[in-house]
Amino acid sequence: MIAGRYYRLLIQVALASAIALVVALGLQNRSLKERHRELTRLYRGPYPGLYLPAFDAVTIDGDSLRIGEPPDGMSQTLFFFTTTCPHCRATVPAWKQIAASVNAVGVQLDSSHLAQDYVRDHGLQFPVVHSSDRRLLRVYRVVGVPLTVVVDASGRVTYSHRGRITDQAVVDSVLAEAAPKIRAVLNPTD
């Protein structure tokens, strides 16, 4: 009889320990999933705080341009796109609106001979360069288009948005990040 009591107590203690262990493992699993999601986000695209190397490029008009190192302490807004992407085409009106107020550069990623027609057909008024250097695109973490990135004068990403831009709130957030830096350079007394 006493042995049966100890045996039941031992079973209850073992069961309680197993339940506590399952709960602890479940909490740890949730924490690991959250960390994994954050690391995946950081890996899959440029994120605020990431420093990007500057590189020299030639626009489709033949002008030299420095990407990732805007002049005079201004910011630079980069639009990564392909000529065949329907989401990029849907984003063109937003990019035009943004480019009217900020220092913007388009980075076209597919066939260079298609870029001039695309720029003309869509009425793009900002400079567009062609880049097919896959290593550079990996460093810039361009894993999908459309991609909008704001880079400060030191080459640090201050804003990034991957995907279609059709919402005015997203346009406003890009402008809020890029435009104040331009106004501060142009009007230092404000």
- Tell me the pLDDT tens digit for each residue of 59-95: 998 899 999 888 777 899 999 999 999 999 999 999 9
pLDDT at 184: 46
pLDDT at 186: 45
- Tens-place pLDDT, residues 23-35: 988 889 888 888 8
Q: Structural domain boundaries of the chain? A: 1-43, 55-186
The correct CATH number of 55-186 out of 3.40.50.720, 3.40.30.10, 2.60.40.10, 3.20.20.70 is 3.40.30.10
Q: Which of 69, 74, 78, 99 is nearest to 182 (CA)?
A: 74
Work out the pLDDT band at 151, boundaries 50, 70, 90: very high
Quick count: other Cβ atoms within 10 Å of Cβ 81? 26
Work out the pLDDT band at 181, boundaries 50, 70, 90: low
Q: How far apart are CA 66 and CA 77, in angstroms?
A: 12
pLDDT at 190: 46
Read off φ and ψ for residue 164, nearest 5 degrees.
-60, 140
- Mean pLDDT over residues 81-110, rounded? 94
